[in-house]
Amino acid sequence: MRRGFAILLVGLFAVSMAAAQATQAPAPAPTTAPAVTETLPTIDQVLDKYVEALGGKAAIQKATSRVAKGTFELPEMGASGTLTIYAKAPNKTLVVVDVPGFGIIKQAFDGTIAWEDNPQSGLTEKSGAGLATAKRDATFYRELELKGLYKWEIKGKQKVGDQDALMLVATPDQGAVETWYFDATTGLLARVDAERESPQGTALIQSSFKDYRDVEGVKTPFRIEQALPGMTIITKLDEVKQNVDIPDSQFAKP
């Protein structure tokens, strides 16, 4: 049970990326894309369509902070709890998870330091690739800066559930390679396959983004399903509020 919650930390920090507008050795190897005879769009076309599908650059930039509240469940473990995600421009995040019977779990990036506090391992800081990943994930206007955050390569089309998706491999300067899947019709992000660090080592996470809803002109996924080895995390957001007053001290390491 305790190992499961340690890995849960990894999954829920990935969720913070999605809530801040999506939104993880090598990432899970994607299934080989089928042969494509049609002409594929360019990287710029895919990423620009994603921004427009979310609501456009102007709508995205109207927000300078965000607070999302919701619940999560781990069906295999019979566990559930609540979470609150705070995000503030340009690059601050805090995820607070309340797990009944286990305690309060926090993960944050304050603009410089990436820290974590949980009942199992106490207060710790990230360094190296883990710090680089946390900094990248905390980028508030991430969807507007994707071209600079990664080197991109388009691999072709692939099914994600019943959807046709464009499969792109994203390589950061530091950290694990990720595979992103954009809905070929809507342009929205459907899934990200990536690897994240946990107290027990690296954890492979397949994050699917569903139930997109309009939040002040910006599409936001209200359901995030994350598949890890032997575990599934289902997160459902109840509310997402923009431009909330959040003091910088909220993100500071205790």
Task: Give residue 18's pLDDT.
Answer: 53
Which DSSP state fits 41? P
Using alpha carbons, list the distances in angstroms from residue 34 to 104, 157, 166, 219.
44, 7, 11, 30
Domain borders along the chain are: 2-243
What share of the chain has pLDDT > 90, as a percent?
A: 70
Residue 15 has pLDDT above 90, yes or no: no
Determine if the pTM surpasses 0.85: yes
Amino acid 65 reads S
pLDDT at 38 over 80: no
Amino acid found at 2: R
pLDDT tens track for 206-241: 999 999 999 999 999 999 999 988 889 999 999 999
How far is 196 from 203, CA to CA, in rounded Å? 5
Looking at the DSSP bridge assignments, the partners of residue 68 are 85, 240
The total of other beta-carbon atoms located within 10 Å of residue 111's CB is 16
Question: Architecture of domain 2-243 in CATH?
Answer: Clam (2.50)
The contacts of residue 166 (CB under 8 Å, 6+ apart) are 40, 41, 46, 154, 156, 157, 181, 182, 184
Q: How far is CA 180 from CA 44, 73, 129, 231, 242, in A?
A: 14, 24, 19, 21, 26
Helix pair angle (128-137, 2-19), 10° resolution: 40
Cβ proximity of 4 and 74 under 8 Å: yes
Helix locations, the chain, DSSP H: 2-19, 43-54, 57-61, 128-137, 146-149
Query: Does the pLDDT at position 19 exceed 70?
Result: no
